[in-house]
Amino acid sequence: MTETHNGDFNMNGITVRQATEADIPVIEGVLADTVGWCREAGRPMWGAEEVRWEALSKKYGIDGFYLAYRSGVPSGCMVIIDYDPFFWPNIEKGKSLFAHKLAVIKTARKTGAADALIGFFKKQGAFRGVRAVRLDTHALRPRLRAFYERHGFVCVGEKTFNGERHTAFYEYEIKPDDKLDPVY
């Protein structure tokens, strides 16, 4: 993992950088690709309306979004926030980081884009001085859960919302040996 001169994060040929307003169509495209791929696979994740900027901007600011690029092509995205009272009501603002909408386009799966996004997320936690980074995922997706577990995340609970959204909660404790150099 390296940081480039302009603050971008690079891991195994995947560059992660903070999004700008000009990237809104890219974010929507990455998330829409994921919605379509999951629907094709018979495992719907989000609804198409949930990944349009109109809906996303009600929960997240553009400054929380990060994009992964492989050979200059947008390959994935995620949003990082420091407060999530819906999924993590017992965690005070600024005491953790939370990842949401982590997605990789179908053609970039198994290229390391998701690994780079997770690596960046953990590095952001270390840089921002939080004790742990957290995420939630669909509890009935064993391969997705195994991916997070391979990256050191530990399941700390499960809950079902509205009788249908089976959610697993994962936490990664920041370790003293996690790199603490700046990431933007």
Strands (E), 83-164: 96-104, 132-138, 154-161
Residue 42 tokens read as 């018979």
User: The tokens of 53 are what?
Assistant: 């900027």
pLDDT at 7: 60
Residue boundaries of the structural domains of the chain? 2-173
- pLDDT tens digits, one per residue of 114-160: 999 999 999 999 999 999 999 999 888 899 999 999 999 999 999 98
Which amino acid, 4?
A: T
Q: Superfamily for 2-173?
A: Gcn5-related N-acetyltransferase (GNAT) (3.40.630.30)
Cβ distance 94 to 83 under 8 Å?
yes
Q: What is the pLDDT of residues 34-56, one digit of tens each?
A: 888 888 877 777 888 889 999 99
Q: What is the mean pLDDT of residues 20-30?
A: 96
Q: At 4, is the pLDDT very low, low, confident or very high (cuts 50, 70, 90)? A: very low
pLDDT at 15: 93
Q: What whole-number distance in Å separates Cα of residue 105 and Cα of residue 13?
A: 16
